[in-house]
Structure 1
Amino acid sequence: MVAGAILARGLIERARTRSALDTWTNDQAVQTVALAKIEQNAAFRTLSLPGTIQPYNRAAIYARVSGYLKSWNEDIGAHVTTGQQLASIDTPDLDQQLDQAKADLASAEANAALADLTAKRWRALVASQAVAQQAVDEKAGDAAAKKAVAEAARANVRRLEALEAFKNVVAPFDGVVTARKTDIGALINAGSGAGQELFEIADLHKVRIYVQVPQAFTAELHPGLKAKFVLPENPGQPYDATLVTTSNAVDSGSRSMLVELQADNPDGRLAAGTYCEVQFQVPGDPHVVRLPATALVPVDKGVEVAVVGPDDKVAMTPIKLGRDFGDTVEVTAGLKPTDRVIDSPAETLQAGDAVRVQAPAADQVAGAAPAKAD
């Protein structure tokens, strides 16, 4: 009887252990999944894109005449006005050319005056038939030719005098000197080909902001649209900007369109070449839901999501995507705000699999404030 009792007790314990093991094994076979946060689209959504601030006007200043830099008057950071002298160039060769041109002009004017006087005398003699008409015509033609030579010499003098005015390098508009690339005694070559850039002037009373906008959002952007932008060094201070024009062409490499915004800069705090973050208010469709991109399952015929049914079993549901916001996407068809969509589903997850839904995090519990995405 004792042996039978011990044997019976062992069999019962073994059965209990086997039942517990089966229960644990079945529990481990059921995957625990987290649900994605589905949001209903708002009437407007903020689209943040990187932008580059550029001056309203910018000019690289080159020398128009060759010589040596005699002096410079303004350095970087200086505020200059239209016509203000920036530097002076010593041009001895040009000065001699001007003197020679003036001498050539005096000689040409003297020859023209003599030829005109001679032509008048011969025209007086033709009335008395003292000279032939052919000789009179030759004298008149010579006077006209000498007059043309004098006009050419006069034009050459004016040209050299105009070049003499370029000895003084001046600012083309009101602005700030952003670069000085020369110094006293430097050899100056005329033109932008062989010549060296002397100064750079930027007009910063207004700035232009250039942004590459993805193709999916270009339809909502139009001239006159208001936007805001912030600088990394002043994240809590937004600036107002207005979209003025678009390139009306999508870049084939990035599939984005270049747009230009303008903003006032009365205090000059916005510097050329600064990076900024531009925030557009893009209209949204309230009938469209937004879903984290991590919930998408690419398939051959498009995109699916794994939806947990009322019986806690998985159903693979095909959806149609709208605009892509990077971390989230719009779903235009195939999904309702009440659906339970699995976030980051495992590759081994199949339709019909039983799953266990993970408890929501503290920031997803009803009544808790949602976390703000970066």
Structure 2
Amino acid sequence: MKNNVSKLALVVLLLAVFSCKEEKKEAVKTASKNSATTFNLKKEVMESTIVIPAELNAFTYVDMYAKVSSYVKTLKVDIGSKVKKGQLLISLEAPEITSKLLAAEAQLHAAEAVYMASKNTYNRLLETSKTEGTISKNQMELALATKNTDNAKLQAAKATYKEYQVMQSYLQIKAPFTGIVTARNVNIGAYVGPSGKGSELPLVTVQDVKKLRLGVSVPENYAGYIHTGDEINFRVNSIPGKTFTANVARMSGALDNKLRSERIEIDIENNPLLKPGMVAEVTLNLQTKEPLYVVPKSAVMTYSEGSFVIKSVKGKAQKVAVTKRRETNGKMEVFSNELHENDQLLTVASEEIRNGDALSVM
């Protein structure tokens, strides 16, 4: 019986020793697995650039259409014609408008004659009524009413005549500003109008090419780094080896609902090399005014739940959720309220390291 007890005690002792050795081996193995290099978290001002496609457009341009149904009578310009503000470009013809204008003019003259007659009649009655008993009060009221009615008809005739005058002015297509004709889509005798086939294309397109505007749609992630007055560089595909420099003139201040980007515009003074419609590549320099936490890209791991870094707190791992910003040259900007300057972060984050794991920091 004593021998059995002794043997049992010996077995238990051996199992305990073996278990301790295994635990030590596992601890050593875990410490080896979680051994990592760290760095002290610092704030930096990180600079980076992005290249965005853009298109050059004339600073001012207009597509000119016919306001009324008519025919092209004379065509005084063609593609490439330089025009001045107020210059006649196209003369249209609409006989029905001319006829209506003449009829309105005749009605106006008739209304003027009727009003002058009723006005003179009222004035004579008024003068006669100064002699007591010559003109009744009823006669005076009727004369005054007739004069006012005829005056109202005269004003209506004037309005009708002016309306047809304005419609006739639409037959003269004039340049709204000084520029160049860049498109012509009609010929003499063509039917044009506000509806139907004649309105599918503009009669002519006039552009002011002395000044150009370069429009750029900046993605939401980068829009906050651009400010009015910032200097930008751009290249034009059709002019290889040439770099142009300009400044941001204006920003839309809102994001486009479809592209989720902000529209910025750059004004470019007259440059004979540049033309409206050219495709450009704009280089934007992205630089924050305030420094942010910058970490190696390898220090950030991303899951479906979000992005994390691993912080070493008293030799143990602590995962910290972060918001990623820009990344360039192997570095990345991150933000989190749980991060502080000089925190120790793992240079290379690993999915195998869990919260509370002991770290062997090197």
Fold-level match, TM-score > 0.5?
yes
Q: Name the CA distance, whole Å, in 2 between partners of 1:175 and 1:280.
A: 31
Q: Name the CA distance, whole Å, in 2 between partners of 1:84 and 1:328.
A: 60
Corresponding position: 1:165 with 2:152: no
The 5-angstrom pairing of residues 24-103 of structure 1 reads 44-103=47-106
Corresponding position: 1:153 with 2:162: no
The structural deviation recorded for 1:102 is: 1.3
Pair 187,350 (structure 1): closer, same or farther in 2 beyond 3 Å: same
Unaligned runs of 5+ in 2: 1-43, 310-318, 340-345, 354-362
Query: Retained in 2: the 8 A contact 1:321–1:329?
Result: no
Query: Retained in 1: the 8 A contact 2:293–2:333?
Result: no
Pair 327,65 (structure 1): closer, same or farther in 2 beyond 3 Å: farther
Q: Name the CA distance, whole Å, in 1 between partners of 2:227 and 2:263.
A: 12
2:283 partner letter = Q
Q: Name the CA distance, whole Å, in 1 between partners of 2:53 and 2:253.
A: 19
Query: Retained in 2: the 8 A contact 1:323–1:329?
Result: no
The 5-angstrom pairing of residues 1-374 of structure 1 reads 44-126=47-129, 127-190=131-194, 195-196=199-200, 197-251=202-256, 253-267=258-272, 269-283=273-287, 288=294, 291=297, 298-300=302-304, 302=306, 322-324=324-326, 330-332=332-334
Pair 107,303 (structure 1): closer, same or farther in 2 beyond 3 Å: closer
Query: Retained in 2: the 8 A contact 1:54–1:273?
Result: yes
| TM-score relative to the length of structure 1 | 0.66
1:97 partner letter = K
Pair 154,270 (structure 1): closer, same or farther in 2 beyond 3 Å: same
2:96 partner letter = D
Moved more, 125-134 or 172-181: 125-134
Query: Retained in 2: the 8 A contact 1:62–1:191?
Result: no
Secondary structure of 2:277's counterpart equals coil
Equivalent residues, number: 293
The structural deviation recorded for 1:125 is: 3.2
The structural deviation recorded for 1:190 is: 4.0
Pair 319,130 (structure 1): closer, same or farther in 2 beyond 3 Å: closer
The structural deviation recorded for 1:326 is: 8.4
| TM-score relative to the length of structure 2 | 0.68
The structural deviation recorded for 1:244 is: 2.1
Deviation per CA, 1:170-223: give whole Å up to 9, x if none: 111122222212111111224799845211222222222222212222222111
Show the counterpart of 1:354. Answer: none
Secondary structure of 1:76's counterpart equals coil
Deviation per CA, 1:13-54: give whole Å up to 9, x if none: xxxxxxxxxxxxxxxxxxxxxxxxxxxx88643322111222
**What percent identity do the matched residue pairs reach?**
25
Secondary structure of 2:275's counterpart equals coil
The structural deviation recorded for 1:103 is: 0.9
Pair 90,331 (structure 1): closer, same or farther in 2 beyond 3 Å: closer
Secondary structure of 1:207's counterpart equals strand
Pair 252,71 (structure 1): closer, same or farther in 2 beyond 3 Å: closer
The structural deviation recorded for 1:250 is: 2.8
2:294 partner letter = V
Q: Name the CA distance, whole Å, in 1 between partners of 2:170 and 2:258.
A: 44
The structural deviation recorded for 1:271 is: 2.6
Query: Retained in 1: the 8 A contact 2:68–2:194?
Result: yes
